Structure 1
Amino acid sequence: MTAPNILILGIGNLLWADEGFGVRCVELLNERYRFPDGVRLMDGGTQGIYLVQHVQQADCLIVFDAVDYGLAPGTLKIVRDDEVPRFMGAKRMSLHQTGFQDVLALAAFSGAYPRELLLIGVQPEELEDFGGSLREPVRAQLEPALRVALEFLAERGVVAAARDGDAERLAPAPLALGRYEAGRPAEELAYRHGDIRFIPQQPLEDD
């Protein structure tokens, strides 16, 4: 019997506070665990429709994301299978969510659609802090979210093994959680129109 192809996908934008929840989840899984062949971890970022080919190849899809469920900030909610597209597009909290709903629709239309879908979503607290990081109620759900994913995999005979060395990064090193937060300027010094670390600097013209 052929082992299923499992895609573990984190989507969202690291630069907009709680929007980065999904990507932080797959980042932690990748740092801590090795998975058997057939299991792939992916930082989907805000790629939207460009993720369709990856979804089409998956027999089982696990998605981590910040989702506006209309619940208290930091609430973790698990959605499965046919209910997933409805929640990915229920409220337009960010552009990538609408895009991922379209990804699922295109995969279904093509006839190459995962047999199982699991959405592990958290209700965000803050989305308007450009260059900010996860707020505490959302950060507190990282570990519970990982446990949900690992238990879901274990029920299907997929066991993650603890890493004994460094993992290949899913995203550039400056965006890793610890380094990203350490480089964040103090609030009184931060450029409030964005994060100065990610805005190209133009030389000032002479008067």
Structure 2
Amino acid sequence: MGETQPSVLILGIGNLLWADEGFGVRAVESLHQNWSFPPNVKVMDGGTQGIYLVQHIRDADILIVFDAVDYGLEPGTLKRVEGDEVPKFLGVKKISLHQTGFQEVLAMAEMMGDYPKHLLLVGVQPVELDDYGGSLRPQVKAQIQPAIEMALGYLIAHGINGEKRSTPLDEELTIACEHMVLSRYEAERPDDAMAYRKGDARIVAGEGWQGPEDFEAEIDEILHSQGQS
């Protein structure tokens, strides 16, 4: 009988719509486009799914995560973190809701007794997040290949080898959403004149709308009035 191969999950998480927040997803897309792996290795775009990823985490003996992480370092800096340190770094400075969700996923998997034996986080310090519909900044995009090399080296250290594709997969054959593949996402994005990138300028600059002074009180009042009707 041959030795059972470990189950490996290579996961990219993040939100493509917020510039450098999409680093993890773009990294895993590029990995899948250029490398193939044995059947015990799953390459997955986790997006912002949060707790919906828990079963995939539970099934993994080895987990590699690509993500944009606020390490408090120079923008564009790539950093690897391993083992028990991973949840700590994901939670030091949250830059998006998915990080809280992924911490919960790891905690849930641990409570269920199925925590990965080996865990690697490959994260990049973002340059820009507040750019709706924006793509990766050059400093962050330049770290995709080094991040992939970190992940491949980690796999090799655990006896798992990927194979470089002789020809990269066409974008429509990768794990990327056909509407969000990098080339289309960047080429078809409207310019500032067509789509203001930090909110609708007509609202932001206008005086016709302003947020509630006490949001919680307003919600309570709405709920109370609905209950009385």
1:37-56 → structure 2 map (5 Å cutoff): 37-56=39-58
Paired AA for residue 178 in structure 2: A
Indicate if the aligned counterparts of 2:130 and 2:198 stay in contact, CA closer than 8 A.
Answer: no
Tell me the C-alpha RMSD between the 2 structures.
1.5
User: 1:108-148: CA deviations, max 9, x gaps?
Assistant: 11110100000000000111100000011111111110110
148, 151, 158: which is aligned to 1:149? 151
User: How many pairs were matched up?
Assistant: 195
Instruction: State how far apart, in whole Å, the 2-side matches of 1:113 and 1:193 are.
Output: 39
Label 1:160 to 1:194 Cα distance change in 2 as closer, same or farther (>3 A).
farther
Which consecutive aligned stretches of 4+ in structure 1 deviate over 4 angstroms post-superposition? Answer: none
Q: Which residue of 2 aligns with 1:174?
A: 179
Shift of 1:172: 1.6
Percent identity (aligned)? 61
Shift of 1:194: 5.6
Point out the structure with max Rg over C-alpha: 2
Instruction: State how far apart, in whole Å, the 2-side matches of 1:9 and 1:169 are.
Output: 14
Instruction: State how far apart, in whole Å, the 2-side matches of 1:183 and 1:67 are.
Output: 27
Name structure 2 gaps, 5 residues minimum: 201-229
User: 1:65-98: CA deviations, max 9, x gaps?
Assistant: 0001111100111000000010111112100001
Shift of 1:193: 5.0
Q: Which residue of 2 aligns with 1:205?
A: none
Shift of 1:184: 1.2
Shift of 1:188: 3.3
Instruction: State how far apart, in whole Å, the 2-side matches of 1:70 and 1:79 are.
Output: 14
Question: Structure 2 length as normaliser, TM-score?
Answer: 0.81
Q: Which residue of 2 aligns with 1:94?
A: 96
1:88-167 → structure 2 map (5 Å cutoff): 88-164=90-166, 166=169
Shift of 1:164: 4.4
User: 1:137-184: CA deviations, max 9, x gaps?
Assistant: 111111110110111111222111122463643232121111110111
Q: Which residue of 2 aligns with 1:183?
A: 188
Shift of 1:12: 0.1
Name structure 1 gaps, 5 residues minimum: 196-207
Instruction: State how far apart, in whole Å, the 2-side matches of 1:133 and 1:149 are.
Output: 23
Paired AA for residue 63 in structure 1: V
User: 1:23-80: CA deviations, max 9, x gaps?
Assistant: 0011001111110110000100000111111000000000000001111100111000
Question: Structure 1 length as normaliser, TM-score?
Answer: 0.90
77, 84, 87: which is aligned to 2:79? 77
Instruction: State how far apart, in whole Å, the 1-side matches of 2:196 and 2:130 are.
Output: 14
Indicate if the aligned counterparts of 1:131 and 1:194 stay in contact, CA closer than 8 A.
Answer: no
What secondary structure is seen at the aligned counterpart in 2 of 1:173? coil
What secondary structure is seen at the aligned counterpart in 2 of 1:149? helix
Indicate if the aligned counterparts of 2:133 and 2:197 stay in contact, CA closer than 8 A.
Answer: no
Instruction: State how far apart, in whole Å, the 1-side matches of 2:197 and 2:45 are.
Output: 27
What secondary structure is seen at the aligned counterpart in 1 of 2:53? helix
Instruction: State how far apart, in whole Å, the 2-side matches of 1:89 and 1:44 are.
Output: 18
